[in-house]
Amino acid sequence: MDVKLTINNTPITATPGQTILEVARQNGITIPTLCYHKDLSPVGSCRLCVVEVEKWRGQSAACTTPISEGMVVHTESPAIIQSRRLVLELLLQNYYDAGYAMGDRPQDNEFIHWVEHYRVTAPRQAQPRFAVNSDPNPVVWVDFNKCILCTRCVRACAEVQGRFVWGVAERGHQAQIVAGAGVPMLEARCESCGACVAYCPTGALDNRMSVGLGAADRKVLTTCTYCGVGCQLDLNVKDDVPGGRVFRVTSNPNAPVNGMHLCVKGRYGYDFIHHPDRVLRPRVRRYLLQGLPRPEHDRGEWVEVDWDTALGIAAEKLRQTREQHGPDSIGVLTSAKCLNEENYLMNKFARQVIGTNSIDHCARL
């Protein structure tokens, strides 16, 4: 039960129930979109994806129009281009960019991408309508001057996170996105997962901690370090310091468990990595260097040493303990935060090297 239709004079066979947009994308035909996102319910409101269907009155939104047998679709006719350009122009003349985040999202600003694609310029300069930084949320940056009212944030909050923080208030030209009953996000029960940021196509919602820090030199897809769900995420890395630094986390739509979704810790809990408290050199207690017995109560002060010294002391003390008190006098605590490979080695360490089965970790805690 295939459906046959024509898009831009090319005959296409498709599956019933698909939209024009889905069929077009499957067949390599680009139709611009803003309010559409494959993870979210379609609303058809931005009207950027309008196409012409022969014999139909008016233009149709490709994202919400189901295909039908014999349909003849044109996606790039002059009238369509005219509509898209005007839609972008109207949005652009209300899109006030204060310039603080230049370069943050070279590929990710879908709105500017289409503005440039259709070579649209605003007939008049956009004026700020809101405070540039209007919500005190510590991790989400809010600048509704860049909002095009696509409502992806509203739907992401409802349909991905299930929290219903964002909504639309007022109407017509006054319509705007609000949190709860027009209150700051946290008061509107926001969990700060940043799903709204991940789905925002314009930068109106952004990751506060990395606004203005520019684009990543590299993005590395890896697995989150917090809970057992096993979300994957992109660590955004800048190589402006030796070895690189992680300065932002973004969603990766190909993440197998979580898709675009992350929680507040996964998306915003990354900066411990570079925290100044990090121990960066091995340390041993002074008594060990001096070959003295351990002080009675306080173990005494730390001394930074090289690896050879630290490892030498640790290995020798453990070895001596085993020799003097037997293997079961040593306990090994491995870590549920560490790699499988590391846990395997800890298990091998306890059993092979020390000869004890006293190995455990915090699974019970």
Partner 1 sequence: MSNSMDDVANHAQALLIIGSNTTEQHPVFGSMLRQAVLRRGAKLVVADPRRIDITEFATLHLRHQPGTDVALINGLMHIIVQNGWEDKQFIAERTEGFEDFQQVIQEYDPERVSEITGVPVDDLVKAAEILSLNKPMAVMWAMGITQHIVGVRNVMDLANLQMLLGNMGVLGGGVNPLRGQNNVQGACDMGGLPNVYPGYQAVTSAEARQKFEAAWGVPLSDQIGLTVTEMIPAAGEGKVKALYILGEDPVMSDPDTNHIRHCLETCEFIVLQELFPSETSVYADVLLPGVSFAEKSGSFTNTERRVQIVRQAIQPLGEARPDWQITAELARRILQAGPRQAQDAPYASWDYTSTAEIMQEIAALTPIYAGVSHARLEAGERLQWPVKDGRHPGTPILHVGQFSRGKGRFMPIEHVPPAELPDDEYPMLLSTGRVLYHWHGGQMTRRAQGLLAIYSESLIELNPEDAQRLGLNGNRRVRVTSRRGSIVAQAWITDRVPPGMVYANFHFPESPANELTLAALDPVAKIPEYKVCAVKVESAT
Partner 2 sequence: MTNRKIKYRPENKAIAEVASKHGSRPESVLEVLREVQETHGGLTQELIGDVSRALRIPEERAYGIATFYTMLSLRQDPPAKTDRRSIRVCDGPVCWLKGAPLLHQLIESQLGDHWRIERNSCLGLCDRAPAALVGDQQAGPLTAEKIGQIPHGFRGAPTDYSNPLPGELRVMMAQAGKIDPDSLSSAQAHDAYRGLEKCLRSTPEATLAVVEASGLTGRGGAGFPVGRKWRFVAQANNTPKYIICNADESEPLIFKDRVLIDTNPHQILEGMVIAGYATGAHEAFIYIRGEYEHQAQRLENAIHQAEQANYLGENILGSGFSFHIHVHRGAGAYICGEETALIESLEGKRGEPRFRPPYPPTYGYLGKPTLVNNVESYAAVPSILRNGSDWYRSLSSAPTPGTKIYMILGHVCRPGLFEAPFGITLRQAIDQFGGGMLPGSNFHFALTGGAAGTIVPESLLDIPIDYASASKGVALGAGAFLVCDQSVSPVAFLRELLHFFQVESCGKCTPCRLGTFDSLEILQRLAQRQGAPGDLERLHLLSEVMKQASFCGLGQSVATPVQSALTHFAADFKGAIQTPNSSEML
Residues 70-99 that bind partner 2 (CB under 8 A): 79, 82-83, 86-87, 90-91, 94
Task: Report the residue from 67, 273, 291, 301 that binds partner 1 according to the rule CB under 8 A.
Answer: 273
Considering CB distances under 5 to 8 angstroms, the limit depending on partner class, which of partner 2, partner 1, none binds residue 362? Answer: partner 1
The strand pairing partners of 273, in sequence order, are none
Site for partner 1 in 253-272 (CB under 8 A): 256-258, 261-266, 268-272
Cα(123)–Cα(33) distance, integer angstroms: 22
DSSP helix/strand/coil, 111: helix
Q: Which is nearer to partner 2, 174 or 324 (CB)?
A: 174
For the record, the structure tokens of 151 come out as 């409502």
Site for partner 1 in 278-337 (CB under 8 A): 278-285, 288, 294, 297, 299, 302, 307, 310-319, 321-325, 327-337
**Least distance from partner 1 to the Cβ atom of residue 191, Å:** 6
Cα(30)–Cα(33) distance, integer angstroms: 9
Judging by beta carbons within 10 Å of its beta carbon (0-12, 13-18, 19+), is residue 316 exposed, middle or buried?
Answer: exposed
Site for partner 2 in 151-210 (CB under 8 A): 154, 158, 164-175, 178-184, 186-189, 191
Site for partner 1 in 109-168 (CB under 8 A): 137-139, 158-163
**Least distance from partner 1 to the Cβ atom of residue 299, Å:** 6
Using the CB atoms, write b or e for 63-98: b if 16+ within 10 Å: bbbebeeebebbbeeeebeebbbebbbebbbbbbbe
Considering CB distances under 5 to 8 angstroms, the limit depending on partner class, which of partner 1, partner 2, none binds residue 79? Answer: partner 2
Neighbours of 126 (CB within 10 A): 15
C-beta pairs of 165-170 under 8 Å, 24+ apart in sequence: 165/189, 165/190, 165/196, 166/196
Residue 60: which H helix or E strand, with range?
Answer: strand 60-61
Q: Which is nearer to partner 2, 48 or 115 (CB)?
A: 48
Task: Report the residue from 6, 8, 18, 45 that binds partner 2 according to the rule CB under 8 A.
Answer: 45
For strand 176-179 and strand 245-250, is the pairing parallel, antiparallel, or unpaired?
A: unpaired
Q: Which residues bind partner 2 (CB under 8 A)?
A: 42-48, 50, 58-59, 61, 64, 66, 79, 82-83, 86-87, 90-91, 94, 148-149, 154, 158, 164-175, 178-184, 186-189, 191
